[in-house]
Structure 1
Amino acid sequence: MIEIRPHRIGRCRIRVPGSKSYTHRTLIAAALSDGPCTVHNPLRSQDTLLTLAALEKMGAVVADRRASIEIHGLNGRFKPCREAIYLANSGTSMRLLAGVAALGEGTYVLSGTPRMYHRPIGHLLEALNQLGIGARALEDNGCPPVEIPGGQAAGGAVAIDCSVSSQFLSSLLLTAPCTPAGMSITVSHGPVSRPYIDMTVDILKRFGIRVQREGYACFEVAGGQTYRAGSYAVEPDASQAGYFWGAAAITGGSVTVDGVSAASSQGDVGLARVLEQMGCRVDHGPGGITVTGGDLRAVTVDMADMPDMVPTLAVVAAFADGTTVIENVSHLKAKESDRLASTCAELKKMGIVAVAEDDRLRVTGGTARGASIDTYDDHRIAMSFAMAGLVTPGVRIAEPGCVEKSFPDFWQVWESLYTD
């Protein structure tokens, strides 16, 4: 348990680690490449290290240096792994690896925590089955643990439901180039979180893979392609930037996050635009994006493409005038926690009117009071509610170590807000 000290931010510059989403995808692409790869500025967090360890178990040769990670790729074919691969509660690791495991030899079992066993993966398994891959949920419930047989990934035409997660499509896209026939992928429902698909396509292109697409509806990836070995850099994480922009919004201060650009494929960079609509000033400079707080007003906003920023925005909304309506976010129920319910419950503890509905979250700004915040072993709940403690005495964060999942140095970086 830690207590957040109230503080009025002046002017700060913050540096956040590499993108979690880009790190996962870059590590997997490097492991599939035709030789040695160097990944610069990777995020080393619980989730990304689980992906790295899994790739190593599947045969990739890994050397973790101080400033980079070196991976010698397997040219699109993983080696057998007799032991179950444990992925804790990293949904990204589970979903992305479930597809590419089909490129290996033997049978792979991907396991995790009890919470992971409630996170849906059935739509991806159904798509793999369409491709002739006998993937299955071991409990026959559409959730992990899963069993993926290698040696059956020939490619072909497939339709996939992405109404729950865009990661199902990303998994197929990462797998497709290494199959003999490639894949013709049709998205039957959704997709949610579209910028994450753009990230996957971006990584494919960086590694020399050709992808044709019709928006987010159809994707054609030729088979027999090769991930090109080389040197790759991971850009700073826009999701992590959001907590510091939110801190500026709530306190009326000014925070610059270095290295983050509006040109990024990361959808979460769009939080700066939402904060601008709420009354903040946003400056896009050559070194990063600066948010300066102002008189906050409520907004109605579609966050389908920025789901990880919903708890962040909800906490900012608690200090805005009026009722903020956050729409198209039902897929947050299948995250590390049910983020609609958990965000709503903790705001209510602080005396804020918050209502979680089927597909939206309503937050009415008011006078917040201190409270002990349960984090549900969810890193984004911990980091989001830390913002509230900057202006509300008595905010205490339970189990603060859960930030290890995505931002191990969060609390150290957070302290830099107090040195302006």
Structure 2
Amino acid sequence: MKAILGRGKFPKNSIINIGGSKSESNRLLILKAQFQNITIKNLSESDDTNVLQQGLKTVNGTVNVHHAGTAMRFLTAYFAAKEGAEIILTGSSRMQERPIGVLVDALNNLGADIQYLQNEGYPPLKIKGKKLQKRNVAVQADISSQYISALMLIAPMLPNGLEITLKGKTISKPYIEMTLSLLKQIGVQANFHNNIVSISSLDKIEAIEIIVESDWSAASYFYSLVALSEDLEITLTSFSEDSLQGDAALSSIYKKLGVQTVFNTFDNSISLSKKNKQLPDSLKLNLTNTPDLAQTVAVTCFGLGIACELTGLQTLKIKETDRLSALQIELTKLGAVVHIDCASIRIRKSTQLVPNVIIETYQDHRMAMAFAPLALKTPLRINNAGVVSKSYPNFWKDLKKTGISCELLKTTP
């Protein structure tokens, strides 16, 4: 499917109902698999969450997570600790290029039985579930926080709980804090202090209903739209000022780009509007804690003619695609001058956008959604537009509500 985008007729204020956070939903599903009396409301409708739900129904056989990296990591840990499970865990060709050795080593050190079926350190995996008796494990913390969250989420089902020592600089720390908060919310004793995460074992919990907050990562594309507009106003539901999600940093990041966020406590919505049109010549951000915002911020800055330097992006090379390289290629098509290294991207100030460019998505949902707001500045096309279903199936429909002209065309395989 191809998306053809351009400027349309803009309403005074559009209201967008963004679905539940994929990050919260996936963590809660692993916890619900252990404690059936957890009720989850506003669950994410993303492909990743659907894949995880289906995977959790399997005890013996093959589970294919396709492109879902979170599902791969969380299910690796879950099945390793589930007695009697015998699973082949696999994914797409790209998933089989994404490293998982740090997590597998940690689990095997705890007594798990996980084998590589093809390449050492990468899926597919053969997992035989066992009772993991050991309590202590050390994990490299500067590669992916999902390895750590995967271990944290299975800690309540381990007979002796779990103590995780984090080695190196911890990246994406808000996601670890999110996992910790959800564990505490259901009644698990857990703490994170001096690079050590300690979580107690738990047999049962009181019945609890948890409402998943809407996805701040998905909200980023509407922040970008407002930033790139003259006077666009958008209301997003349902968001909290004291969010568990690290990407809630959007409100402060985009304030620098002229977007005002008003938190409406009466209905848990946020109202976005363009207020400050005196923008800086350049923007420098360390996104170690919020790497999923990098693509959106980079495209916004380019569209506004602002130079930017984004650092702390070492995880982007092992995502759905090598996101730094993909950004460089696609922004260069549009006329940008871009420099990347292993953990950063720098974009020179530019006032010219090449029109009618075709953006490739590289099987990466965030590439499609991050570039879409540029339709406010220049007509463009986005190939493989259906990839947004990975995290935000209704994205193109919601984009139209803001006034963007969006025509979706089926393409032949």
TM normalised by structure 1 equals 0.90
Match of residue 285 from structure 2: 301
Q: Which residue of 2 aligns with 1:360?
A: 344
Q: Match for 1:27 among 29, 36, 39?
A: 29
1:327 to 283, 286, 311: 311
Q: Give deviations 1:94-129, integer Å, cap 9, x for gaps.
A: 001111112221422210000000111111111112
Deviation readout 1:138-195 (Å, 9 max, x if unpaired): 2242111112221241131110012111011111111111111111110012321111
Distance 1:112 1:228, change over 3 A: farther
Q: Does 1:110 align with 2:89?
A: yes
The 8 Å contact of residues 178 and 226 in structure 1, kept in 2 or not, is answered as no
Query: Aligned to 2:70, which of 71, 92, 104?
Result: 92
| CA–CA distance in structure 1, aligned partners of residues 115 and 345 of structure 2 | 34
Q: Does 1:180 align with 2:166?
A: no
Aligned-partner Cα distance in 2 for 1:151–1:12:
51
Give me the whole-angstrom Cα distance separating, in 1, the residues matched to 2:361 and 2:119: 30
In 1, Cα distance between equivalents of 2:302 and 2:327: 11
Q: Say which of 339, 354, 362 aligns to 1:376.
A: 362
In structure 1, the residue matched to 2:272 is 291
Q: Secondary structure at the match of 1:277?
A: coil
Alignment of 1:312 with 2:296, yes or no, is yes
Measure the CA separation in 2 of the matches of 1:141 and 1:342: 26
Query: What aligned pairs does 1:192-231 form with structure 2 within 5 A after superposition?
Result: 192-214=171-193, 217-231=195-209
Contact 2:17 2:236 (C-alpha < 8 Å) held by counterparts: yes
- Tell me the residue number matched to 1:77: none
Asked whether the equivalents of residues 32 and 227 of structure 1 are also in contact (C-alpha less than 8 Å), the reply is no
More displaced stretch, 83-92 vs 35-44: 35-44
Query: Any idea what SS the aligned residue of 2:120 has?
Result: coil
CA distance in 1, matches of 2:93, 2:222: 31
Q: What is residue 15 of structure 1 aligned with on the other side?
A: 17
Aligned to 2:124: 145
1:167 aligned counterpart, secondary structure: helix
- Hey, what's the Cα distance between the residues in 1 that align with 2:128 and 2:404? 53
CA distance in 2, matches of 1:137, 1:228: 38
**Structure 2: tracts of 5 or more residues without a match:** 406-413
8 Å contact kept, 1:18–1:235: yes
| 1:224 Cα deviation from its structure 2 partner | 4.1
* Correspondence for 1:169 among 143, 148, 151: 148
Instruction: Give 1:8 shift.
Output: 7.3
Deviations 1:191-246 (A, max 9, x none): 2111111111122112211102206x111112244354432211100000110111
Larger displacement relative to structure 2 (222-231 or 140-149)? 222-231
2:386 and 2:335 mapped to 1: Cα distance?
A: 25
SS of match in other structure, 1:383: helix
Q: Please tell me whether the aligned partners of residues 291 and 312 of structure 2 are also in contact (alpha carbons under 8 angstroms).
A: no
Once the two structures are overlaid, the 10-residue window that deviates more, 192-201 or 281-290, is 281-290
CA deviation after TM superposition for structure 1 residue 134, in Å: 2.5
5+ unaligned residues in a row in structure 1: which ranges? 59-80
Structure 2 counterpart of 1:409, from 394, 405, 409: 394
Q: How does 1:219-258 map to 2 (within 5 A)?
A: 219-252=197-230, 253-258=232-237
CA distance 1:38–1:246, shift in 2 (3 Å): same
CA–CA distance in structure 1, aligned partners of residues 346 and 205 of structure 2: 44
Residues 316-365 of structure 1 deviation map (CA, whole Å, 9 limit, x = unaligned): 01023442000010110000011111111111111112222221011223
The answer for the alignment partner of 1:348 in structure 2 is: 332
Query: 1 or 2 for the larger relative contact order (CA 8 Å, sep ≥6)?
Result: 2
Cα separation, partners in 2 of 1:397 and 1:250, compared to 1, 3 Å: same
Given residue 135 of structure 1, which amino acid in structure 2 is its aligned partner? I
Task: State the distance in 2 between where 1:187 and 1:8 align.
Answer: 51
TM-score by length of 2: 0.91
Aligned to 1:184, the other structure's residue is in SS state: strand
**Paired residues of 2:287 and 2:310 also in contact (CA < 8 A):** yes
Residues of 2 paired with 1:400 and 1:238: CA distance? 21
Return the alpha-carbon distance in structure 2 between the equivalents of residues 389 and 106 of structure 1.
48
Structure 1: how far apart are the matches of 2:139 and 2:210?
Answer: 30
Count of matched residue positions in the alignment of Structure 1 and Structure 2? 394
Contact 1:296/1:321 (<8 A) preserved: no
Distance 2:315 2:253 in 1: 20
